[in-house]
Amino acid sequence: MKQQSTADLAKVYIKMRNAIKAKEEEIKQIKEELSVVENALHEVCEAEGASSLSTPEGTVIRRTMRNYWTSDWDNMYKTIIDNNAFHLLEKRIHNANMKDFLNENPSLAPPGLQSTTKHVISVRKPTSK
């Protein structure tokens, strides 16, 4: 296979990125249409007083989901600490904050802390063409 020039690779990259963007817009539209159908199914379940409806095309299941959040993190942290309820938090490290913390405190890396570093490519389209 012939080595492609950097310009050719950049052109292909931008073309592919634009194709992905177009598909994302298409997916966004489909999701909006899906939401209309989903709302109609909610109305049917509500009218029928049903949590599930069996049809020849599939079973519609309506369930309750609950999400929690806080507007007072200081009291949330206090409640978690006071009740040893660390399981209420998700196990994820905020990357930018950890990077800043380690830059400010290079000798305080917690045991078991791991990281990966990778180079990423981005390509800007030319300003005029």
Backbone angles phi, psi at 98, to 5 degrees: -65, -40
Residue 17 · residue 9 · CB < 8 Å: no
Q: Where along the chain do its domains lie?
A: 6-104
Question: Is the model's pTM score more than 0.75?
Answer: no
Task: For residue range 59-80, list pLDDT tens digits in order.
Answer: 999 999 999 999 999 999 999 9
What percentage of the chain carries pLDDT values higher than 70? Answer: 98
Rounded CA separation 81/13 (Å): 49
Q: Which residue has the tokens 């080595």?
A: 3
> Which residue do the tokens 């159908």 mark?
37
The span from the CA of 41 to the CA of 50, in Å, is 11
Predicted local confidence at residue 60, as pLDDT: 95
Are 42 and 62 spatial neighbours (Cβ–Cβ below 8 Å)? yes
